[in-house]
Amino acid sequence: MTNQPLPTYFVSHGGGPWPYMDGEFRRHFAELEGSLVRMRAELDNIPKAVLVVSGHWEKEAFTLSTAARPGMEYDYYGFPPHLYEIAYRSPGSPALAERAAGLLAAQGLPTDLDPQRGFDHGTFSIMKPLYPEEDVRVVQVSLHASFDPALHIAAGKALAPLRDEGVLIIGSGLSYHNLQAMQTGAGHEPSRQFDAWLRETMLDTPPHERERRLLQWTGAPSARAVHPREDHLLPLMVVAGAAGAEPASLSYHQSDFFGGLSVSSFRFGEPPHERNDL
């Protein structure tokens, strides 16, 4: 039994309700799905619950979902009607939501609870491949609507004690998120430039310098061409904050996503099975 904290993850979650689809659209996510299957294997069944920071939820305070049986948020458009009837049925955890809210509030961060919020695309799109049994407790955390990177890193630091309590913290976003450019192919080169900077920041930079670079992310190559809005990047800030000085590793990378986009996911810290526990 390890006394070390669980790793944290930033997951590029893909597009739409892809785990519930098949055919050509589903095949775009084959490499991403493989990375999530590997992630589950390296975690084994150690996490007691999952806290997901979703790039699909913005509030005026960091808000925790408190429903014991969360419903669904169909926050996507243009898909066949049956994909607005799917359900991911993992239970919530009011107790974990309260605990996380208390940690945030203790650091003076604006915090709220939402008993109505269901699982959005940022959550169920990764949880379905990770936990297809739908038996692990899941709580969602919103972004803060200010989009202040320092505030999101501070939120991660506040939530870090959960890692010692068997809670897996995942930031669910996408390292590239410009849908208009994605549809035209104009995003290929900007995504390559930004992803190279992001991988350098995560993999080759000391933790204190990593935080500084994240705070100044808008100065990265093609930053605003890749993230016109930073909603899908900010979950990375939270899990990086929760990781503290833990090193990062690349858990997923693709340079031909949807024909030529560069996208990445990252793990902070070591998975339990790689530790030498006596």
* DSSP output for 181-245: HHHHTTTHHHHHHHHHHHHHHHHSS-HHHHHHHHHTGGGSTTHHHH-SSGGGTHHHHHHHHHHTT
Confidence at residue 273, expressed as pLDDT on a 0 to 100 scale: 67
Average pLDDT in the 10-24 region? Answer: 94
Q: Sketch the domain layout of the chain as residue ranges.
A: 8-268
Q: What are the pLDDT digits (tens) for 163-184?
A: 999 999 999 999 999 988 888 8
Q: Residue 218 and residue 230: Cα distance in Å, rounded?
A: 9
Among residues 29, 14, 17, which one has the least CA distance to residue 86? 17
Q: What value does the CA radius of gyration of the chain take, rounded to a whole number of Å?
A: 17
Confidence of residue 122 (pLDDT cuts 50, 70, 90): very high
Q: Residue 132 and residue 114: Cα distance in Å, rounded?
A: 25
- Note the pTM of the prediction, 2 decimals: 0.96
Confidence at residue 52, expressed as pLDDT on a 0 to 100 scale: 98
Q: Residue 127 and residue 183: Cα distance in Å, rounded?
A: 26
Q: What is the average pLDDT score of the chain?
A: 95
Confidence at residue 1, expressed as pLDDT on a 0 to 100 scale: 38
CATH topology of domain 8-268: Protocatechuate 4,5-dioxygenase; Chain B (3.40.830)
Contact between residue 265 and residue 1 where contact means Cβ atoms under 8 Å apart: no
Confidence at residue 183, expressed as pLDDT on a 0 to 100 scale: 80
